[in-house]
Structure 1
Amino acid sequence: MQVVDPHIHLWDLKTHHYPWLANPQTSFVGDARALQHDYLIGDFLRDAGDIEVLKLVHVDANHDPADPVEETRWLQGIADGEGRGMPNGIVAYADLSGDNAEALLEAHAAFSNTRGIRQILNVHENPHYDYGGRHFMHEAAWRRNFGLLKRHSMSFDMQLYPSQMNDAAALAREHHDTQFIVNHAGMFVDRSSVEGYRAWRDGMRALAACENVAVKISGLAMFDHAWTVESFRPYVLETIDAFGCERAMFASNFPVDRLFGSYGALWRAYAEIVADATDSEKAALFRRNAERIYRI
């Protein structure tokens, strides 16, 4: 099977600082203590096994927020050396609420493989799921600096919960000339009620109504640790139904999702779910959309 993987993470604990791995905790995404080891390009390719990864995109790995450009510099060095072009795309971190946001974007943009920015937006009333307690999309400085992405031809990887999707759709309409990519199929967190399901379904369709918004079907195992093909199926098919095969793409979220299954098992599950799609649709979901949307 050939894939383009648009969502992976690498880290080198010997040379870089990742606060969440320096003091790993157990959370809804699993036990981070099991990830407290180097994860380099060679480790990823070994995990890939018989899945042929043609290209990949690295998404910020919650590197030291005091020096986010160092992560981009390190990744570009890998791409220019042992990675032989990989990671082909880099989604870097920048705090768009900060006074130095413009300088950070300029510094990231200096590296040839930089394609976009991710700043995690997840806010939840349950502290177990809350990432930072700030509604960045409601902050004037953050919204003002968000407009700088277009100047550098950068996309925005949008990690959020269903309760935030209407605000995100409004942001996407305001910045119709910026590419948005929803991470992890919208992180359907409130699974225990009909209301929670409707919030996810309706929020995803609100985002999909914006032509500049795409979605990565990834990270499903973070909320479904004992997953099966059948437990994944409704989320995969509903996401594809909302966005269409032309704006959805599969991704691994490795090595985080390695806590709950192998690389090959994950991709083969995706393949089984869309087995009756056309060859063109499969090519789009597994390869072409990632190449086009991330310009790799």
Structure 2
Amino acid sequence: MTQDYEATTHILTRDDWLAKASEEILEPELPIIDPHHHLWDRLGPYFADELLADLTSGHNIRKTVFIQCRYGYREEGPTDLKPVGETEFVVGIAEECARKRSDIGACDGIVAHANLLLGDAVQPVLDAHKEAAKGRLRGIRHYTASGGDRFSGAVPNSPLRLMYDDAFRKGFGHLAANGLTYDAWLYHPQIPDFTDLARAFPDTTMILDHLGGPLGIGPYRGKGDEVFAEWKGYMQDLAGCPNVIIKLGGLAMDVNGFDLHLEPLPPSSGECARLWRPYIETAIELFGADRCMFESNFPVDKGAVSYPVVWNAFKRIAAGASDAEKASLFHDTAARVYRL
């Protein structure tokens, strides 16, 4: 089986639009690890300076984790090793950030891409990532997001049942032995596939990105209650897998259908909290704070919400949590899972 990706259609970042609204930072001393951001020049540049500008915009961001995004690949050499170029690129950004702000551990963790369809042949790729990462490699992400026959607008639109592929699972089996976690980007109808994978590999720590990708466009447009009910049922089943961690965020993408980027003014944290609360609170109730972590998903979500506002929204949603629960949600779960 091969894998074919579509070009990204994420929302373009508009700094002038985001600047139309500003907020006072809530709980500015609360320590935060941002466990999910990218670096690229697709929606506008997002490199060391842009990352640091967000990390120092008011919230107490202590460390971050870079998540693969198909940027900076090697242009030459074996195809299987081309993704190692992204790891090399990120290490360079991490070192630049450290020179400029030694008090923030930007990209202290790296989740890279390796083609798990290589099966046993994935091991040399994992070894190359480890060498290139200079101690920062924490996990692997291999896209599995797919709309199948119902949803042609899916990005990246991977093969529908990729997580059941024998070669994929053989490659997946190398992660735990290498001390690596697995991040998953998928859409909510695929959560049962992820659950089956989690049960098959109970010794692998598996992180479900973006709350499992609840869809709100295409055939799911205008069916918010139906989508939420289906998503919740899938998540209740998944919660029985103790090796699974949930990332709380990524709901400002175009595929979620909230359309915040279409409004005349950027959203407030209160508006974001109102829209996202049902999903986030349900996930925390099902998995517990020690199996959940807030994520920015920047600069992807920056197309619809600013960095200060997205973390204010999370703080509003978590306002009723205990101090210990807040510590887990904003910092400790990420620190434990990604060994930061």
Q: TM-score range by the shorter chain?
A: 0.7 to 0.9
Residue 164 of structure 1 corresponds to which residue in structure 2? 190
* Contact 1:60/1:92 (8 A) holds in 2: yes
Residue 263 of structure 1 corresponds to which residue in structure 2? 307
Matched, 1:202 2:233: yes
1:101-149 deviations in Å (ceiling 9; x for gaps) = 2221111122210000011111112101252341211211111111011
Residue 175 of structure 1 corresponds to which residue in structure 2? 201
1:120 to 132, 143, 149: 143
SS of 2:70's partner is: coil
1:280 to 321, 324, 338: 324
Structure 1: unaligned runs, 5 residues or longer? 14-20, 22-34
4 and 130 in structure 1: CA distance in 2 versus 1, 3 angstrom threshold: closer
1:204-225 deviations in Å (ceiling 9; x for gaps) = 1222210000010111111223
Number of residue pairs matched by the alignment: 274
Q: Aligned partner of 1:198: which letter?
A: A
Q: Aligned partner of 1:214: which letter?
A: I
Residues of 2 paired with 1:117 and 1:109: CA distance?
Answer: 11
Identity %: 36
Residue 250 of structure 1 corresponds to which residue in structure 2? 294
Matched, 1:6 2:31: no
Q: Note the 1:181-260 alignment, pairs <5 A.
A: 181-189=207-215, 190=220, 192=223, 194-222=225-253, 223=256, 224-226=258-260, 228=271, 229-260=273-304
Residues of 2 paired with 1:81 and 1:254: CA distance?
Answer: 19
* Contact 1:109/1:152 (8 A) holds in 2: no
Q: Aligned partner of 1:41: which letter?
A: A
Q: Note the 1:24-63 alignment, pairs <5 A.
A: 35=43, 37-48=44-55, 49-63=57-71
TM-score computed with the length of structure 2 as normaliser? 0.76
Residues of 1 paired with 2:90 and 2:232: CA distance?
Answer: 35
Q: Note the 1:20-169 alignment, pairs <5 A.
A: 21=42, 35=43, 37-48=44-55, 49-63=57-71, 64=73, 66=79, 67-83=82-98, 84=102, 85-98=105-118, 100-110=121-131, 111=133, 112-124=135-147, 125-134=150-159, 135-169=161-195
SS of 1:220's partner is: coil
* Contact 2:36/2:297 (8 A) holds in 1: yes
SS of 1:126's partner is: coil
* Contact 1:93/1:119 (8 A) holds in 2: yes
Runs of 4 or more above 6 Å deviation: none
1:132-186 deviations in Å (ceiling 9; x for gaps) = 3412112111111110111211000011122211221121111111100000011
Shift of 1:275: 0.6
Larger radius of gyration: 2
Q: Aligned partner of 2:308: which letter?
A: G
243 and 82 in structure 1: CA distance in 2 versus 1, 3 angstrom threshold: same
1:230-260 deviations in Å (ceiling 9; x for gaps) = 1111111111111111100101001111111
SS of 1:87's partner is: strand
Structure 2: unaligned runs, 5 residues or longer? 1-27, 261-266
